Chains A and B, each alone.
Chain A
Amino acid sequence: MSAPSKPYLLDFYPLEDEKQTRIAPFFAHLRAGRLTTTKCEADSSVHWPPRVTCPLCHGNRLVWVDLPKEGKLYAFSALVLGLPMGMEGDAGAVVGMVELGNSGVRIFSRIRGRKYEDLRVGDPVEFETYDTGDGRVFYRFVSKL
């Protein structure tokens, strides 16, 4: 992995490798096209974001499980004014809460592929990964319409 292009403290993406985080497998899974998170073997709770201890039972018998890659828009908006540094070029970008299949997990994400005006609550979206431009990988969702 190459060094981030900006100082770490002005960079939004997590530091992904095993020298920096104990959830490096999450990012390795992204590279393999999988959206995963942690599940507690003791109490069956599913977490987001991935954890190293279970917030319910405080144990550490956690396993990686796949989340559904398809979901529906629960709510959404767009970044029109007031974008943060590094995102100034993204004016108009859509963001939203995505309900992942029947998993009960609802996560916030960038939504690609369709303008705000052309989207409705309930519209189908699909997981995809992208290169952050400095060797790291991240996820977003794309409209299936």
Chain B
Amino acid sequence: MRKVALVAGGLSTWGIRPATWGELLQEAGQELFANARNLDAKDVDSLFVGAAQPERLAFQSHVAPMAAELLGVRPSRFVRRVELACASGQTAIQDAYVAIASGLSDVALAVGVEKMNLPSMAEATTSMANVLDRAWDGVHGGTAPPFFAMVAQRHMMEYGTTAEQMATVSVKNHRFANSNPKAQFYAKTFAKEKLLTGPMVSPPLRIGDCSSMTDGAGAVLLVGEELASKYTDTPAWVAATSQYTDFHNLANMASLTEWTGLRRAAQDLYARGRTDAAHIPLAEVHDCFTISEIVEYEDLGFCPKGAGGKFAAEGQSDLGGSVVVNPRGGLLGCGHPLGATGIGQAVEVLGQFQSTVPAARLVKGASQALTHNLSGSANVHTLTLYRRES
């Protein structure tokens, strides 16, 4: 297969934005065109739009041609929306990768966008309850917070993980977000003591354990090997990608605390990329909740099963640790505009490789990095491995 390079990225500012879905996307597109050297809109032959719930959150369907018009591109090979709930953005990148690697596309845009802050918060959260099996799980009030709260309860019970260890994850990611002007929680401080006494969302998860409802967009440009040098001197090469799912209804989840799908997807990623967990210096993972990041350390193989809380508390996932996790600020610090999150992670990896991110979060010399998104009830895991050298 042809090698694929991620050569440029752009983001809107993320947060509670006085802007529509389409306006956020225009902002991200503008930054991408500014960042991509020599990019002419006519070069773009394909567009993949990661958007989780535009029908519910913006009352808009058939969003891909609308996005093309807003971005000023006229795709001639592929144009489509990609939906995989919280992993929609990374899945759009995966589709662009597949299209270019196969030779059917040469220059593809993968974008992601979500407008989540509506006049009615209840209306927005309703659109979260249909991510689970709506008629059997969502119907009881099954949204993300109570689900991940049960994961936390069992992890605490089975492995002795503590609320304080979970708060360590939140403090780290919010601190990283302070170096990221695009983050929802840029220039806001979060003391551990305050997080441990904040309002409860779904016990044992407090507000500081939860990522936010966020408005935001992102865009990345992927190209075939021979075109990379036209657009940048330092691309992020896609070394491998993987995805795995093994259930949907909560009744069919084998274990709340061991995410078998993530273990399998990670195994596939490392095998295809000819590497292993010990050689990943930088990871952008799906910290939709603090407990998620802890389980992910374990099932990505960064630490033994059950040791994720200790791993965080010891600073092993912070600068100077064995793997720097979520230096852009993660979902906790940047917010989580569902379709845009995976794009934001890729933009961070490129910025890290190009050393354009601030020193406060730069992982010096990182030769490779992985991005991870879970979606739904951690029942799908999507992974990409990037390398600085092809």
Contacts and interface: CB of A to CB of B under 8 A. Distances in A.
Interface of A: 10, 12-14, 48-49, 74-88, 90, 93, 95-97, 105-110, 116, 121, 138, 140
B136 A49 contact: yes
B207 to A, nearest CB: 7
Of A97, A108, A140, chain B has the most CB atoms within 10 Å of the CB of: A108
A76 B156 CA distance: 13
9 contacts: A48-B249, A48-B252, A49-B133, A49-B251, A75-B153, A77-B149, A84-B141, A108-B250, A110-B141
A110 B140 contact: yes
Name the 7 nearest CB pairs between A and B, nearest first. A77-B149, A75-B150, A14-B135, A84-B126, A12-B139, A48-B251, A108-B250
Interface stretch (B23-31, B85-93, B167-175, B197-205): B197-205
Interface of B: 120-123, 125-126, 128-129, 133-143, 145-146, 149-151, 153-154, 157, 199-205, 207, 249-252, 256
Contacts of A86: 126
Contact of B153 (A76, A82, A105, A140): A76
A19 B204 CA distance: 42
A69 B120 CA distance: 38
A76 B201 contact: no
B141 A80 contact: no
B136 A82 contact: no
A93 B122 contact: no
A107 B249 CA distance: 9
Contacts of B149: 77
Nearest to A79: B141
Contacts of B141: 79, 83-84, 87, 90, 93, 95, 110
A80 B139 contact: no
Contacts of A10: 126
A53 B150 CA distance: 30
A84 B142 CA distance: 9
B153 to A, nearest CB: 5
A81 B153 contact: no
Contacts of B126: 10, 84-86
B249 to A, nearest CB: 6
Given A84-B143, A85-B123, A75 B251 contact: no
A37 B90 CA distance: 37
A84 B135 contact: no
Contacts of A105: 251
A97 B250 contact: yes
B251 A82 contact: no
Nearest to B200: A80
Contact of B201 (A12, A81, A90, A106): A81
Given A81-B200, A84-B143, A121-B153, A13 B136 contact: no
A142 B173 CA distance: 39
Contact of B143 (A76, A82, A109): A82
Given A48-B251, A97-B250, A80 B142 contact: no
Contacts of A88: 122
Contact of B154 (A75, A81, A85, A108): A75
Contact of B142 (A78, A95, A116): A95
Nearest to A48: B251
Nearest to B141: A79
B146 A83 contact: no
Given A49-B251, A88-B122, A79 B135 contact: no
Nearest to B144: A82
B251 A108 contact: yes
Contacts of B252: 48
Contact of A85 (B122, B202, B249): B122
Contact of A108 (B125, B128, B136): B136
A86 B123 CA distance: 9
Contacts of A84: 122, 125-126, 128-129, 138, 141, 143
A20 B295 CA distance: 40
Given A78-B203, A108-B136, A97 B150 contact: yes
A81 B206 CA distance: 10
A121 B200 CA distance: 19
Given A12-B134, A48-B251, A79-B202, A109 B122 contact: no
Contacts of B133: 49
Nearest to A14: B135
A66 B336 CA distance: 42
A44 B205 CA distance: 39
Contacts of A108: 136-137, 140, 142, 250-251
Nearest to B121: A82
